């Protein structure tokens, strides 16, 4: 399932995330809300935080798995 | 560089506030594009909007230039601010106004209007 695939990609990119969630917003398997808090975000601007998430999900973004992506990121400090 | 890519670059570099979106400000075709537009309207920003839907190459070339995979994309004075979530978050904290003021001057909203730029034909309506 797409949610599991996204979650595992994010787990690989943010192994120490105290909070990591992928929600299927519409139930259609292509509109997602991603919530990640990670020490990797500490000290980074919002743009760079989202860039890290986009990078982690580059493959499903490219192959059309993700039709719409909402991102919420938080540092841990 | 392709012609479309050149035109996209021209919009990013020369429009104070450039919004690449699905649809136009008059006819928004996606909720995320609508969220950015509302944030910009609330901040009283001048908006030059580019509809990416008419040709898939617009989106391709744009993402290549910006390194940002999703639509919408907001640029202020040539610099990527972010997509819908970032823009909305910045708007909620008041940061969006500060960015606009810092980059465009405190009078950025004077005579602000919404325009649509067509990167396929190169005309600006």
Would you kindly state where each structural domain of chain A is located, as residue ranges? 2-74
Q: What is the pLDDT of residues A26-76, one digit of tens each?
A: 999 999 999 999 999 999 999 999 999 999 999 999 998 999 999 999 999
Nearest to A47 among B69, B70, B82 (CB): B82
Q: Does domain A2-74 have CATH number 3.40.50.300?
A: no
Ramachandran angles phi, psi of B70, nearest 5°: -110, 165
Q: Which chain A residues have a beta carbon less than 8 Å from that of B70?
A: 54, 61, 68-69
The helix/strand/coil state of B80 is: strand
**pLDDT value, residue A77:** 85
B104-117 residue pLDDT tens: 999 999 988 999 99
Residue B53 near chain A (CB below 8 Å): no
Residue with tokens 């979106």: B21
Of all residues in chain B, what percent carry a pLDDT higher than 70? 96
Sheet with B114-116: list strands edge to edge.
B79-82, B73-76, B17-21, B47-51, B114-116
DSSP B109: T
A residues 5-24 lying closer than 8 A (beta carbon) to B: none
Question: pLDDT (tens digit, 9 = 90+) per residue, B22-62?
Answer: 999 999 999 999 999 999 999 999 999 999 999 999 999 99
- What chain B holds in terms of domains, given with CATH numbers, is 3-116 (3.40.30.10)
Chain B residues close to A51, C-beta within 8 Å: 67-68
Q: What is the ipTM of this complex?
A: 0.88
Residues 77-106 of B with CB under 8 A from A: 80-86, 89-90
Q: Is the model's pLDDT at B93 over the cut of 60?
A: yes
Q: Are B11 and B21 in contact (CB under 8 A)?
A: no
pLDDT of residue A68: 92
Tokens of B109: 């909203």
- Best A41, A53, A68, A72 member to test B by mutation, with max B CBs in 10 Å, is A68
- Asked if A70 is an interface residue toward chain B (Cβ–Cβ < 8 A), one would say yes
* B52 in Cβ contact with B67 (< 8 Å): no
- Residues of chain B in contact with residue A62, where contact means CB-CB under 8 angstroms, are 69
CA distance B82 to chain A (A): 6
Helical axes B84-92 vs A46-56, angle rounded to 10°: 160
How far is Cα A41 from Cα A17, in angstroms, rounded to an integer? 10
pLDDT in the model for residue B122: 59
How high is the pLDDT of residue B81? 98
Sheet (strand A31-37) strand order:
A19-24, A31-37, A68-74
In contact, B96 and B87? CB cutoff 8 Å: yes
Q: In Å, how far is B43's CA from the nearest CA of chain A?
A: 19
Element holding B31 (H helix, E strand): helix B31-42
């Amino acid at each position: 399932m797409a949610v599991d695939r996204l979650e595992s990609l994010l787990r690989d990119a943010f192994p120490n995330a105290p909070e990591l969630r992928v929600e299927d917003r519409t139930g259609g398997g292509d509109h997602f809300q991603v919530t990640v808090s990670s020490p990797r975000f500490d000290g980074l601007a919002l743009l760079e935080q989202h860039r890290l998430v986009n990078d982690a999900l580059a493959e499903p973004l490219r192959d059309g798995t993700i039709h719409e992506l909402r991102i919420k990121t938080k540092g841990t400090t | 560089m392709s012609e479309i890519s050149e035109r996209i670059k021209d919009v990013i570099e020369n429009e104070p506030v450039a919004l690449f979106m699905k649809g136009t400000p008059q006819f928004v075709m996606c909720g995320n594009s609508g969220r950015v537009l509302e944030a910009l309207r609330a901040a009283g920003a001048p908006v030059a909007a580019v509809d990416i839907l008419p040709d898939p190459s617009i989106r391709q070339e744009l993402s290549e230039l910006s390194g940002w995979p999703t639509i919408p994309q907001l640029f202020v004075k040539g610099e990527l601010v972010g997509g819908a979530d970032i823009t909305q978050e910045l708007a909620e904290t008041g940061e969006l106004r500060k960015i606009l003021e810092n980059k465009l001057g405190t009078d950025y909203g004077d005579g602000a209007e919404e325009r649509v730029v067509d990167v396929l034909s190169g005309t600006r309506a």
